[in-house]
């Protein structure tokens, strides 16, 4: 009877140590990441993960578990959660060429106003025409270039790893995660492969 009890305890310990989820992934090319999510800072990489439930039963996994194992298996990466990543993307969008051009046009209107009020040798008609052109240019840039398009926001919401996943036995899902390359690391990570219990 003792032998049967030891055998059952051993089977339960082995079952609890069984890997529940398999995770593999590939780096998203920077050009594709820019199309999907807008510009990303250079130190941040995006990865497409394939997360599979290896068991026959339904199980859940938290993003924090995935991030922890990802960081342990790849010390040169620090995962970034979806709530942190959205403000990073939005902040980085403010450095785009369109934003810089809008700032230049705003400054031009101010300079032209000062020149129009001062007595210079420049014709009032030229100053007025240039100021109107700058204002129209600002409006066009603001109307044509939102920070993130509706498609990019929808793609972000549907594809980036949420805080928890529930997967049926044997099923897989694809999700995107972002990670910061650790400063000083010389190794570029192209693929990921790890297991989550």
| pLDDT value of residue 40 | 80
Range with top average pLDDT, 23-32, 144-153, 155-164: 23-32
More confident residue, 132 or 54: 54
d(CA 158, CA 155): 5
Residue ranges per structural domain of the chain: 18-91+152-196, 97-144
Average pLDDT, the chain: 74
More confident residue, 10 or 169: 169
| pLDDT value of residue 121 | 59
More confident residue, 33 or 109: 33
Range with top average pLDDT, 4-18, 64-78, 114-128: 64-78
Q: pLDDT class for 12, splitting at 50, 70, 90? A: very low
Q: Is the model's pLDDT at 70 over the cut of 90?
A: yes
- Joined together, the tokens standing for residue 90 give 């939005």
Q: pLDDT class for 79, splitting at 50, 70, 90? A: very high
**Is the CB of residue 96 less than 8 Å from the CB of residue 102?**
no
Question: pLDDT digit string (tens) for 163-188?
Answer: 899 999 999 999 999 999 887 766 67
More confident residue, 21 or 95: 21
């Amino acid at each position: 009877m003792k032998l049967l009890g030891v055998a059952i305890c051993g089977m339960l310990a082995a079952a609890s140590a069984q890997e529940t989820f398999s995770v593999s992934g590939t780096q998203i090319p920077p050009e594709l990441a820019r199309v999907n999510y807008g510009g990303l800072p250079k130190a941040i990489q995006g990865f497409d993960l394939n997360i599979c439930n290896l068991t026959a039963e339904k199980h859940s996994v938290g993003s924090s578990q995935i991030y922890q194992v990802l960081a342990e298996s790849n010390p040169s990466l620090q995962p970034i959660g979806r709530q942190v990543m959205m403000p990073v993307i939005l902040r980085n969008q403010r450095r785009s060429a369109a934003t810089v051009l809008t700032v230049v046009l705003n400054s031009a209107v101010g300079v032209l106003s000062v020149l129009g009020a001062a007595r210079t040798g420049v014709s009032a008609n030229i100053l007025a025409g240039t100021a109107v052109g700058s204002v129209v240019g600002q409006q066009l840039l603001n109307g044509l270039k939102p920070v993130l398009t509706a498609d990019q926001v929808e793609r972000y919401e549907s594809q980036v790893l949420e805080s928890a996943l529930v997967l049926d036995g044997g099923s897989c899902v694809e999700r995107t995660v972002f990670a910061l390359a650790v400063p000083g690391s010389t190794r570029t990570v192209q693929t990921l492969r790890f297991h989550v219990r």
